[in-house]
Amino acid sequence: MSEPLILGIESSCDETGVGIVRGTELLANEVASSVDEHVRFGGVVPEIASRAHLEAIRPTVARAVRQANIDLTELDAIAVTAGPGLMGALVVGLSAAKALAYALDKPLYGVNHLIGHVGVDMVEHGALPKPSMALLVSGGHTNILRVGDIASDVEEIGTTIDDAAGEAYDKVARLLGLPYPGGPVIDQLAAEGDPTAIAFPRGLTARHDLDKHRFDFSFSGLKTAVARWVELRHRDGKDIPLADVAASFQEAVADVLTAKAIDACAAYGIDSLLLGGGVAANSRLRSLLAVRCEVAGITLRRPRPGLCTDNGAMIAVVGAELVKADVPPSSLDISADSGMPVSQISM
């Protein structure tokens, strides 16, 4: 049997992504971002994002089809992000995918956005070991997942109980007067600072926290600690060493993320760890996790930074896995689910 040819559409936030794969072979990956339209608001504005998706979806599909050098009639199925994400943004992508599936008489697969961040690594490094552990770090989600099979068996063993890591980056950037999105800016600034300059707290790592939240995350307290530190410096009339603050904050985030991921691998007896999600492009997180995995004897898989942010290829490759596993396709009547749980791989 030949590998399935799948077109994937991603529109959960501010990127309109269309990817085409043949199995795990990446044929096209086109992305139209509306991030510049949100900068002056300091965050994503749902209505603006939805309108941007409406304008971008058709030309982005067309570019992907040209890049892959295929005809739409050759497709075996259409995959699309069904959730989680911004409801209005999801509806645009889902509507486009339904229209294509109906017009071409092709199966439709409503895919979980978060599982896409796990699956996208397969276009670079092939099939995932079974089982694998995944550390998923994005703007709105921070999770540790046990992945038995990406098409049928994903278990959440850790999550954030308040701010996700990406949210903390954006909020800290805002209070430091840095532009949106905060992740890349802080990462770049941190390279000039001392990560040991300020002893910011590591959330949910105290002994009493580990009893109940061993694999969970909390970054709200860290964000508040940065705000208080900056406020005290202002009160005392002292300058704010932005690079040191950025580096110390980033070190606290990376320290907790990597330590808990390594601990989860040890607890479950899993020696393969995948890093995924938009924050997975962060240089310190990538380097620290590589060092700690090597020490622990864990094989680390990391997609290249360009595949860590939202894109259609990640949805397409999960769609291909669902087709190969003979998972029944979704109905054309499915609705977007802004709160779709990570354990629900598809609709």
Q: Domain residue spans in the chain?
A: 5-120+311-324, 130-304
Crossing angle of helices 242-268 and 165-175, rounded to 10°: 170
- Report the relative pairing of strands 132-137 and 5-10 from DSSP bridges: unpaired
- Report the relative pairing of strands 25-33 and 15-22 from DSSP bridges: antiparallel
205 three-state secondary structure: coil
Rounded to whole angstroms, how far apart are CA atoms 306 and 283?
13
Q: Which two tokens stand for residue 102?
A: 């109906």
| Residue type for position 5 | L
- The yes or no reply on domain 130-304 and CATH 3.40.50.450 is no
Do 5-120+311-324 and 130-304 show the same overall fold?
yes
Spatial CA neighbour of 244 closest among 202, 184, 193, 187: 193
Please check whether residue 11 is in contact with residue 89, taking contact to mean a CB–CB distance below 8 angstroms.
Answer: yes
- Report the relative pairing of strands 132-137 and 77-83 from DSSP bridges: unpaired
Whole-number pLDDT of residue 40: 81
CATH superfamily of 5-120+311-324: ATPase, nucleotide binding domain (3.30.420.40)
Rounded to whole angstroms, how far apart are CA atoms 329 and 78?
10
- The pair phi, psi for residue 334, each rounded to 5°, is -65, 150
Whole-number pLDDT of residue 1: 60
Please check whether residue 147 is in contact with residue 118, taking contact to mean a CB–CB distance below 8 angstroms.
Answer: yes
Rounded to whole angstroms, how far apart are CA atoms 90 and 33?
15
- Residue by residue, pLDDT tens for the chain (347 residues) are 689 999 999 999 989 999 999 999 999 999 998 888 887 887 888 889 899 999 999 999 999 999 999 999 999 999 999 999 999 999 999 999 999 999 999 999 999 999 999 999 999 999 999 999 999 998 789 999 999 999 999 999 999 999 999 999 999 999 999 998 899 999 999 999 999 999 999 999 998 988 899 999 999 999 999 999 999 999 999 999 999 999 999 999 999 999 999 999 999 999 999 999 989 999 999 999 999 999 999 999 999 989 999 999 999 999 999 999 999 999 999 999 999 999 999 99
Please check whether residue 329 is in contact with residue 102, taking contact to mean a CB–CB distance below 8 angstroms.
Answer: no
Whole-number pLDDT of residue 200: 97
